[in-house]
């Protein structure tokens, strides 16, 4: 019997119009009635998930959320931290200088200051609007090199970002976990942090074996948790790499793929 379902948000639980279908809501509700934990696992900060957590009634003393691609695992109501894996201001300083060299914009999430950037841009504002947070334009010339940074993102028009990525040094793959979570987002976080590790730490906290876990996702930042789980499920709209490692491919995010998988593997068992 499965005891925990971890769901990516964009491209998975959310439709193309960024809402949760009634069928998906009902399937999640019925799974929870059977005692199954349902956990949102997203690259977004918890504030960007709050409306969805409320919509799904996933805010209680016994509900959890994986935010920032697993860098932060916490209770959704009290926000008590289960695990936190971050990087530093020195990493932001390094990546900021690289971003200028390759010609792309950059922003970061500071634990204390929130969403910070040396210059607001289209996709930084998009990030802020999507997550209901504000942008703080701050100089990166005198960063506190010990400041706790949750994640850093290079952001730009897809063609500009892709061109910039080609110019990045290979050593970055040794220093950071890197995930392209959208055509215009390249994310950098602690080498030890990803959705898979965050899920593993939460599972240990709850006393749940990986064989008792279902995960669903569509993009490369979902790869670690899809490969970790006992049942890794790719969305019908997932990238080929995710479909290749998945145990099962469900329908697309616009055709209730999450609900159909929950109905098949949890509600009809």
- Looking at the domain covering 4-84+193-267, what would its CATH class be? alpha beta
Q: What is the CATH number of domain 87-190?
A: 3.30.1240.10
Q: What is the pTM of this model?
A: 0.85
Question: How many CB atoms are located within 10 Å of the residue 266 CB?
Answer: 21
Active-site residue (options: 8, 93, 218, 222): 8
Active site residue 162: no
Helices (H) and strands (E) in the chain, counts: 10, 15
Coil, strand, or helix at residue 79? coil
| Residue appearing with tokens 């009809």 | 268
Domain boundaries, the chain: 4-84+193-267, 87-190
Q: Quote the distance between the C-alpha of residue 237 and its chain's center.
A: 17
* Tens digits of pLDDT across the chain (269 residues): 999 999 999 999 999 999 999 999 999 999 999 999 999 999 899 999 999 999 999 999 999 999 998 999 999 999 999 999 999 999 999 999 999 999 999 999 998 899 999 999 999 999 999 888 999 999 988 889 999 999 999 999 999 999 999 999 999 999 998 988 889 999 999 998 899 999 999 999 999 999 999 999 999 889 999 999 999 999 999 999 999 999 999 999 999 999 999 999 999 96
Question: How many CB atoms are located within 10 Å of the residue 179 CB?
Answer: 23
Query: CA 47, 61, 35 angle in degrees (round to 5)?
Result: 110
């Amino acid at each position: 019997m499965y005891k925990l379902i971890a769901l990516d948000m964009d491209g998975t639980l959310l439709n193309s119009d960024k809402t949760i279908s009634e069928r998906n809501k009902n399937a999640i509700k019925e799974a929870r009635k059977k005692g199954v934990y349902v956990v949102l696992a997203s690259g977004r900060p918890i504030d960007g998930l709050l409306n969805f957590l409320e919509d799904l009634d996933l805010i209680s003393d016994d509900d959890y959320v994986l935010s920032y691609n697993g860098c932060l695992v916490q209770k959704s109501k009290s926000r008590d931290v289960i695990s936190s894996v971050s990087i530093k201001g020195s990493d932001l300083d390094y990546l900021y200088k690289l971003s200028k060299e390759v010609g792309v914009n950059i922003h970061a999430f500071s634990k204390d200051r929130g969403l910070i950037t040396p210059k607001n841009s289209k996709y930084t504002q998009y990030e802020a609007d999507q997550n209901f947070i504000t942008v703080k334009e701050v100089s990166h010339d005198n960063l506190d090199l010990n400041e706790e940074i949750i994640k850093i993102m290079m952001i730009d028009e897809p063609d500009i970002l892709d061109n910039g990525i080609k110019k990045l040094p290979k050593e970055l793959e040794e220093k950071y976990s890197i995930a392209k979570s959208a055509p215009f987002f390249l994310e950098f976080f602690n080498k030890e942090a990803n959705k898979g590790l965050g899920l593993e730490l939460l599972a240990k906290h709850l006393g749940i074996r990986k064989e008792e876990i279902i995960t669903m996702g569509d993009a490369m930042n979902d790869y670690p948790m899809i490969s970790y789980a006992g049942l890794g499920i790719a969305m019908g709209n997932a990238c080929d790499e995710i479909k290749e490692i998945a145990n099962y491919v469900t329908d697309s995010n616009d055709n209730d793929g999450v609900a159909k998988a929950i109905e098949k593997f949890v509600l009809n068992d």
